[in-house]
């Protein structure tokens, strides 16, 4: 399986991805990032998303989820169940 098949990017508007991935997602046991490992600590939109023509609002709110061979359907369902409430809380801050 190629690496591209194991990455999922989701754009969340009206909240910075860094706020989601650093605090609330981690506290909920969900591992995600706001960018690639090679750009850790850089507070700007991914150059890959820029090259794809993604606008700034969606790009800065993009979360990257890496799926591995041990990722189960239940793992994905758990993230999908938690994510809406996490986003709601982050937007209210």
Q: Give yes or no: 38 in active site.
A: yes
> Catalytic residue among 38, 51, 80, 81, which?
38
DSSP per-residue codes, the chain: --GGGGEEEEE-TTS-HHHIIIIIHHHTT---BSS-GGGTT--S--HHHHHTT--HHHHHTEEEEE--TT--HHHHHHHHHHHHHHHHHHHT-
Instruction: Write out the catalytic residue numbers.
Output: 38
């Amino acid at each position: 399986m190629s690496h591209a098949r194991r990455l999922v990017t989701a754009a969340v508007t009206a909240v910075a991805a860094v706020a989601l991935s650093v605090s609330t997602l981690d506290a909920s046991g969900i591992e995600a990032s706001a960018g690639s490992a090679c750009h850790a600590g850089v507070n700007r939109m991914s150059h890959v998303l820029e090259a794809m023509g993604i606008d700034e609002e969606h790009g800065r709110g993009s979360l990257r989820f890496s799926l591995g061979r041990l990722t189960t359907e239940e793992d994905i369902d758990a993230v999908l169940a938690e994510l809406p409430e996490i986003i709601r809380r982050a937007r209210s801050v």
